Amino acid sequence: MVRCPPREGSAERTLDLAELVKTVDGMTLVLRSMGTPDEGISLSLLRNDPAALSAAMAGAAEWRPAADDVDAPSLWYMGSDDDGGFWAADIELATRLGVETHLVPGADHVMSFRRADEVLSFVRPFLERHRR
């Protein structure tokens, strides 16, 4: 999810987290702090490359879109409990860029990815509308 303009210190917090998730121990700590059960932590460690996740987070901490960055149909979604949902600046940017936005009610960052049935209820129609 693109955040523009960032909240005070958000890039620094993301960079700090990126540094933490570089290692298995750090990634375990972050996942545990998010309430991920041990089974979920084990699966996340098996399915993710901590160094790659760290690099992606570090890059995302600094990226800010310009109006011409989005030239294809785009959809953003996030959990309503993920840092309070979309910020006013997110909605303004999405409107300007023609991006469709959705909140997954009662989901945090992790759960918004795990609630596939809910997410697919708006992703499938979006994809169908934009099928070439």
| Tens digit of each residue's pLDDT, the chain (132 residues) | 443 444 556 778 888 889 999 999 999 998 888 888 898 889 889 988 999 999 988 887 776 666 566 678 999 998 888 876 788 878 888 888 889 999 999 988 778 888 899 999 999 999 999 987
Q: How much is the pTM? A: 0.62
Q: How far is CA 91 from CA 24, 34, 48, in A?
A: 35, 26, 30
Question: What's the helix, strand, coil split of the chain in %, to 5?
Answer: 60, 10, 35
Angle 114-103-21 from CA coordinates, rounded to 5°: 50
Domain ranges within the chain, ordered by starting residue? 1-64, 65-132
* pLDDT tens, residue by residue, 96-128: 888 999 999 998 877 888 889 999 999 999 999
